[in-house]
Amino acid sequence: MKAKDSIRNIKGIGEKSEKLFKKLGITTVEELLAFYPREYDIFTKIQPISTVREGETVILEGSFPARLKMASVHGLKIISGLLRDSSGQIQVSWYNMPYLMKTIKVGMHYILRGKIVRKNGFLQTAQPKILTQQEYANQLGKLQPVYPLTAGLTNHAVAKAVSLALADYEFEPDFLPLEIRKKYDLLLHKKAVHAIHFPESREEYARARSRLVFEEFFLFSLALHQMKGQKHEAVSKYKLVAGRRTEELLRALPFELTTGQKGAWEDVRRDLQSGFVMNRLIQGDVGSGKTVVALLALLCAAENGHQAAIMVPTEVLAKQHYEEFRKYLEPMGVRIALLVGSMTAAAKREAGARIAGRETDIIVGTHALIQEKVSYADLALIVTDEQHRFGVRQREMLSEKGQRPHMLVMSATPIPRTLAIILYGDLDVSLIDVLPSNRLPIKNCAVGTDYRPQAYRFMEKQVAAGHQVYIICPMVEESEAMEAENVLDYTNSLKEALPPSVRIESLHGKMKAQQKNDIMQAFSEGRIDILVSTTVIEVGINVPNATVMMIENAERFGLAQLHQLRGRVGRGEAQSYCIFMAGNTSKETMERLQILENSNDGFYVAKQDLQLRGPGDLFGIRQSGDLYFRMADIYQDARELKQANEAACALGKDGVTLLCKKYEGLRSIMEEYTGDVKTL
């Protein structure tokens, strides 16, 4: 089997499963093999019954001193009994398996594997698997892959397909040169792919992951070096000098710039008039006020008679920036346009004509800005907001629309400087390290689901006081469609739980762009009290009147992402609150969430999280929400990032050319790492 072969070549995959796999984005064998497990199920040793804890999956060995009982509840046959070992006993139950009444014998020894749950106050294990001695011995210590699934496709079916594909797959020769593999002690690609699906041990898993992570960073670094060229210190055709308008804008703002904002603006201002092309990253935690610095830069370009564009990752955010900028700039006679994908063809054409004909000074938009059809008369500056949501390639594409325009990149990803230098190539960095002084620190609490009624009452009070609320809905891994359904269900039950006077709406990725915009508009104008949403609101949205954020299933998000989400509140003068609602309150979960409870500082959160988890964490929740990488995580895998970058640098330009010659597909894989964008 070869990379591009259809998965139909795998035994057992027919038309029906083909469709299901397609829902997961898998059509070729290559894609199947790159469909990594979400986590692993580990067969631990048999443990004494007295030591089990709620939520754990355990293996128990014991016997049933009495005959099993069978009851019928709502037509469901439930079989139950007490399993006993020398340490204690526990209730065991099975649904719809009446034959067990016959097969399970009193006094015989059984090995059972199942999850411990609490029912009517007592611990029990429901629906455990019965293992033979042999099965237990074979599986002990092994890790079983757990895949993200879609309805109709079982974990077993995916694992089987992967295993069959692996058995028959012809791997290309490894593109990582032997010296590099040796120096950094990396597995062969082939071995790593095998092991990531079916690791023999934790150690093997860690090594497999390390190789695949290295590989991703390596390809990313190569691509980045290729693109960078000799951009640094390039002479600019645009000497932009901030003048009268800047002062006017600063006066019109309802606040004073913070020292951080002033510093960043000083850097930008200096760059713009230096005669060299600006390549600058502004890094500042959520809510630190990056937008206004961008606005100052955009205005500066316009004031000097040139065009400037700002690209953002979502339409909702584009719309919001557009409205906000208009408020300040239109009175000064600056012409500003919006360009997003959901506009009608006619509207796009019209905007395009005005951009090409120099009738627009500032353009706010999404990826629509880099579409082929759009051409700019005189682009002197480009800004990308929430850069971590874009591929590096998108930034380049926008830049190529002009003649070496100045480039300003904004990001809230709290990464250490050393990593920023690698990830953002040769950008200069300005840090906004203070929040506006009118802010009260967000009050946080991490709670279990039994707190939900209280949380609802709290929201009701906040709404009565004129504030607004975000609720982030439980995450659904399976699909966007299910996620949408989930949001709707949640919204309905929320409406039942709260008085009808509370205006509740929902927002999710399946909605039409126009509909999303309308809802966001209504929310920002205060016509909606509670917004139930998926993480689509994660990026950039600014509604200072919103004071409560509640995140359901908080345990399923990475801490960095939770921090970004939380950044939607605490943006105004009123006291804000963030409620992290955990679906399970295990010690690990609560410990992680307490990091957020204890601090509102993004850097601190990222660092603590890393310390708590340690490298090689088995259940790697993606931390950053960064879209460059499939497996790698810039926090967790900082070591690999440094090493891979070092290796890529050492290869040099000739080395890369040689490598690409030797391995045909390499260039296109490289490009994936810098061009991958998720449209929201």
Q: Residue 112 corresponds to which tokens in the numbers above?
A: 């059972």
Beta bridge partners of 123: 118
Of positions 307, 542, 576, 645, contacts ligand ADP by CB under 6 A? 542
**C-alpha–C-alpha distance, residues 612 and 520, integer Å:** 36
Of positions 287, 352, 365, 402, contacts ligand ADP by CB under 6 A? 287
> Would you say 534 or 542 has its CB closer to ligand ADP?
542
313 binds, among Mg ion, ligand ADP, none (CB under 5 to 8 A by kind): none
287 binds, among ligand ADP, Mg ion, none (CB under 5 to 8 A by kind): ligand ADP
670 binds, among Mg ion, ligand ADP, none (CB under 5 to 8 A by kind): none
Binding flag, residue 286, ligand ADP (CB under 6 A): yes
Binding flag, residue 402, ligand ADP (CB under 6 A): no
> Would you say 145 or 284 has its CB closer to ligand ADP?
284
Of positions 145, 284, 352, 602, contacts ligand ADP by CB under 6 A? 284
Report DSSP letters for 235-296, one per residue.
BPS------HHHHHHHHHSSSPPPHHHHHHHHHHHHHHHSSB--EEEEEE-TTS--HHHHHH
Beta bridge partners of 577: 443, 548
**C-alpha–C-alpha distance, residues 302 and 337, integer Å:** 13
Of positions 291, 411, 547, 576, contacts ligand ADP by CB under 6 A? 291
> Would you say 48 or 544 has its CB closer to ligand ADP?
544
Instruction: Please state the φ and ψ torsions of residue 588, each to the nearest 5 degrees.
Output: -60, -50
Binding flag, residue 297, ligand ADP (CB under 6 A): no
Cβ-based neighbours of 546, under 8 Å, separated by 6 or more: 467, 468, 469, 470, 523, 568, 569, 571, 576
**C-alpha–C-alpha distance, residues 555 and 592, integer Å:** 8
- Asked if residues 272 and 300 have their Cβ atoms less than 8 Å apart, the reply is yes
**C-alpha–C-alpha distance, residues 22 and 383, integer Å:** 36
For the bound state, the minimum distance from the C-beta of residue 544 to ligand ADP, rounded and expressed in Å, comes to: 5
Binding flag, residue 292, ligand ADP (CB under 6 A): yes
530 binds, among Mg ion, ligand ADP, none (CB under 5 to 8 A by kind): none
Of positions 197, 571, 592, 622, contacts ligand ADP by CB under 6 A? 571
For the bound state, the minimum distance from the C-beta of residue 256 to ligand ADP, rounded and expressed in Å, comes to: 6
- Asked if residues 328 and 295 have their Cβ atoms less than 8 Å apart, the reply is yes
Binding flag, residue 526, ligand ADP (CB under 6 A): no
- Asked if residues 339 and 285 have their Cβ atoms less than 8 Å apart, the reply is no
619 binds, among ligand ADP, Mg ion, none (CB under 5 to 8 A by kind): none
> Would you say 320 or 486 has its CB closer to Mg ion?
320
> Would you say 62 or 284 has its CB closer to ligand ADP?
284
Of positions 540, 570, 602, 620, contacts Mg ion by CB under 5 A? 540
Beta bridge partners of 63: 84, 109
For the bound state, the minimum distance from the C-beta of residue 308 to ligand ADP, rounded and expressed in Å, comes to: 17
Of positions 436, 526, 583, 616, contacts ligand ADP by CB under 6 A? 436
Binding flag, residue 567, Mg ion (CB under 5 A): no
Q: Distance of CA 437 to CAs 68, 258, 294, 303, 440, Å?
A: 67, 8, 20, 30, 8
Which range, of 24-32, 170-178, 470-478, 536-544, touches Mg ion by CB under 5 A?
536-544
Which range, of 15-23, 119-127, 416-424, 540-548, touches Mg ion by CB under 5 A?
540-548
For the bound state, the minimum distance from the C-beta of residue 220 to ligand ADP, rounded and expressed in Å, comes to: 25
CA R_g for the chain? 28
394 binds, among Mg ion, ligand ADP, none (CB under 5 to 8 A by kind): none
Calculate the dihedral angle through the C-alpha atoms of 290, 295, 301, 306, rounding to the nearest 10 degrees.
120
Binding flag, residue 314, ligand ADP (CB under 6 A): no
Cα 514 to chain centroid distance, Å, stands at 24
Binding flag, residue 288, ligand ADP (CB under 6 A): yes
Residues in 210-269 at the binding interface with ligand ADP, rule: CB under 6 A: 255-258, 261
Burial of 338 from C-beta contacts in 10 A (0-12 / 13-18 / 19+): buried
To 10 degrees, what angle do helices 602-613 and 559-566 make? 160
Coil/strand/helix, residue 181: helix
Residues binding ligand ADP (CB under 6 A):
255-258, 261, 284, 286-292, 412, 436, 438, 540, 542, 544, 571
Residues binding Mg ion (CB under 5 A):
540
